[in-house]
Structure 1
Amino acid sequence: MINQVKPPYLQVTWHDPVTGRPGFLVIDRLVRGVCSGGLRMRAGCTLAEVTGLAAGMTAKEALNYDPEGRYIPLGGAKGGIDFDPRDPGAVDVLRRYLMAVRPYIERFWTMGEDLGLRQDTIDEVLADLGMQSSIQAIYPLLDDESKARQRLADAFEISVDGVALDELVGGCGVAEAALVGIERLNLAAPKAFVQGFGSMGGATARFLAQAGVPVVGIADAAGVVANPDGLDVERLLLTRDQFGMIDRDQLRPDDRQLPLQAWLDVEASVLVPAAVSYAIDDASAVHADLVVEAANMPVTSTAEVSLADRGVLIIPDVVANSATNSWWWWTFFGDIEADADAAFTKIRESMRKLVNRVLDQAAHEATTPRAAAAAIAAEATDVISRRFGPSTV
């Protein structure tokens, strides 16, 4: 987790008048009056969770800040709704939440999909409410709003081998972070296990398999599918449902099905938790050499300390899963065009540079990659503050 240096700029707690379930919005920091961060929906979501995620978004913005780039660095924020996204009433709860936080979306909070929610669902509800976009707060900062909006809209229309580009960019970054970690550890014949098969987990599995790293196990909400020689990731990816559930009818005869609680028992040197927060709280259950955090805050702080003491390399979430956020803004501000090859090239180059920088600093200072990332983010935040003045905070 990112250590909270100071209290967040704003915390909002909302209670749904129909179900009584709470929802939250935390703005950790504003840069030029604007912040960025996704909206998640899951049963059990808490204010503390959303606060930590918002701080992580501030770090992601800072870690990917390029003073030579076109995109304006933003502050960090996060939204969360304590409700099961599979419940038939989920869209209605989402609609009431968005109505309640509408003033923040219109003026301060640029927001996208996160765990349990899809961007197209958010967009449809916002359109029903008569709102322009989930990122309309940033429009006043643009030189040419129409071109920026068209560029992003064009990017969201791109599909790569049957999967939308916006569902692939985050996993491309996670996979590249994993490949750097594999190289740094000099792992021979690495095999990967991916926990979660939604946008982030599914894309990560695709790019790892394409890079020659067999994905020997995948966990979804129903259980685990595994094969020591590697699963047919592409077949499973193209037949999963909207919630990232694997169609078991697509498994091959030699694929195994295991109970969900066995997800850490599958032998793999690379572990990619890509589902819920706090999924790993027992370090003794982890047998991988490399953990790449595709989900937000999937490893508890206690487990992380124990894993680090054992020599397990953890590439933290604020580094590994930051490509989705960066891709939005690179495309929106024109650092890249609406093109899949341009997106993947930019993501791979930026992620490789960032991961190596973090790991080099961690080695030099004899600290953890998370601590190194926090130090780099703090330094970048200071630069952003000096560039944009007191309105930054």
Structure 2
Amino acid sequence: MPSPAPLLSLTWTDHVTGRQGFLVVDRLVRGVASGGLRMRDGCTLDEVTGLARGMTMKEALHYDPEARYIPLGGAKGGIDCDPRDPAAYGLLVRYLRAVRPYVESCWTTGEDLGLSQDLVDRAVAEVGLVSSVQAVYPLLDDETAARRRLADAFAVEVDGIGLDELAGGCGVAESVLAALDRSGVPYPATRVAVQGLGTMGGATARFLARAGLTVVAVADVKGTVANPEGLDVEALLAARDAHGTVDRAALRPGDRELPGDAWLSAEAEILVPAAASYVIDTANQDRVRARWIVEAANMPVLPEAERLLTARGVTVLPDVVVNSGTNAWWWWTLFGDIGPDAAEAFAHIRRAMRTLVDTMLARATADGTSPRTAAHALAADRLPVIAERFGWYG
């Protein structure tokens, strides 16, 4: 689909470290845009621009005219810094001070790669903002009740992991299961390799393991842990630090430590890149043995690599669909489509993601295109409908 210039694009330079931060608002709906804030060494304006455009599509793909949640526009923030750098938190605070007018008026944001929601909330409070999503409050029927509902949802834990950390992985896992069901592939015969065991990757691994799939490899910054008989996902999740790095003392005798990129060529039917962007390119795509690549991370497969993968029968399920459950869960909860209850949230996520993935794959089959092209076509169909109903700016 065509990619017009974003409505707003800015680059900020930190006066203390010289590092840069970026904010891109791709589109507004009712005056508001939605998109997370990431922090990683090497983050660029082009990257953030692409992510903001992706958020526009994710919002449009979840448009339901009967729901309380009305999709917003798309935006994204990014900071060029390693989140493990001791100076990272101060940089985050100064960035938020610089973009404060946008958070107050039009940009709703939250955790993304390299940042936890707890850290974002801490920095937001230090800056003096009400909330990272306060720009949406004027659109709510009952702000007090909505904020209490979201706070209650963030307080819910399921087997030691917060509901907010599980929502996105539930959506990724359901995308995998929908693809397997359409192809008639049984869950117990399906092996999975996951790159990244942070919020998204960890939750995805948990839901897939509990569905009966075998997780044979996971990768973090220390390398890949693999076991062809299956890893103990719960033990690995319990042994993670705040950045998703697994304490190797938790490994079992049959678990092997391999190089960091070994997950890419794992003997598995499903690959789930769930950490960094641009990890599968033309130089390494030929190492992929999987039948499906499921993009839990944003933009992990470069376009030319995807064309080569598609040509040899590897199906890429795109990020704009696969990882959209996190964003949608926030808004379903805040607007009141679901309550602060794990069972209700998981049921709603599964139902919505299953419908969206099935619609995308059916469109791809009917049009003879890739799932990504089909997803973009669905978004292109819905964006004018949203614009006609709500306008570009609100």
Superposition deviation, residue 43 in structure 1: 0.2
Q: Which runs of 5+ in 2 are unaligned?
A: none
State the match for 1:218 in structure 2: 218
Distance 1:174 1:61 in 2: 16
Amino acid in the other structure paired with 2:13: H
Q: What is the match of residue 190 of structure 2? A: 190
Equivalent-residue separation in structure 2 for 1:218 and 1:302 (angstroms): 25
Q: How does 1:1-393 map to 2 (within 5 A)?
A: 4-187=2-185, 189-281=189-281, 282-391=284-393
The alpha-carbon distance between structure 1 residues 295 and 4, as it changes in their structure 2 partners (threshold 3 A), is: farther
Is the contact between residue 163 and residue 238 of structure 1 (CA under 8 Å) also seen in structure 2? no
**Which range moves more in the overlay, 281-290 or 164-173?**
281-290
Kept in 2, the 8 Å contact 1:177–1:352? The answer is yes
1:285 Cα shift? 1.4
Q: Could you tell which deviates more after superposition, 32-41 or 183-192?
A: 183-192
Q: CA deviation at 1:391?
A: 2.8
What is the SS of the residue equivalent to 1:338? coil
The TM-score with structure 2 as length reference comes to 0.98
Cα distance in 2 for residues equivalent to 1:154 and 1:4? 40
User: Letter of the aligned partner of 2:193 in structure 1?
Assistant: F
Superposed structure 1 runs of 4+ greater than 3 Å apart: none
Report the Cα offset of residue 390 of structure 1.
Answer: 4.7
CA contact (8 A) 2:27 2:392 kept: no
Q: 1:237-273, CA deviations, whole angstroms, 9 ceiling, x for partnerless residues?
A: 1220000001110010111110113221321110000
SS in 2 for 1:263: helix
Task: Determine helix, strand or coil for the equivalent of 1:168.
Answer: helix
Once the two structures are superposed, residues 7-61 of structure 1 have per-residue CA deviations (whole angstroms, 9 ceiling, x without a partner) of 0010010011111111100000000110000000000000000000000000000
Contact 1:180 1:352 in 2 (8 A): yes
Q: Which whole-Å CA distance do the structure 2 matches of 1:218 and 1:301 have between them? A: 24
Deviations 1:360-381 (A, max 9, x none): 0000000011111001001111
Could you say what the CA RMSD is over the residues aligned between the two structures, in angstroms?
Answer: 0.9
Larger CA deviation: 255-264 vs 42-51: 255-264
Question: Contact 2:31–2:392 (CA<8 Å) still a contact in 1?
Answer: no
Aligned residue pairs: how many? 390
Q: Alpha-carbon deviation of 1:185?
A: 2.9
Matched AA of 1:288: A
Contact 1:314 1:369 (8 Å CA) reproduced: yes
Q: Give the whole-Å Cα distance in 2 for the aligned partners of 1:43 and 1:323.
A: 26
SS at match of 2:393: helix
Q: Is the 8 A contact 2:93 2:123 kept in 1?
A: yes
Q: Which amino acid aligns with 1:320?
A: V
Q: Hey, what's the Cα distance between the residues in 1 that align with 2:159 and 2:225?
A: 23
* In 1: Cα distance, 2:131 partner to 2:300 partner: 30
Conservation of the 8 A alpha-carbon contact between 1:182 and 1:290? no
Q: Distance in 1 between matches of 2:184 and 2:302?
A: 26
1:159 shift after superposition: 0.3
* Amino-acid identity (%): 62
Indicate conservation of the 8 Å contact 1:105/1:136, yes or no: yes
C-alpha displacement at 1:4, in angstroms?
Answer: 5.0
What TM-score, normalized by structure 1, do the two folds share? 0.98
On the 8 A contact 1:278/1:300 being kept in 2, the answer is yes
For 1:344, give the aligned amino acid.
F
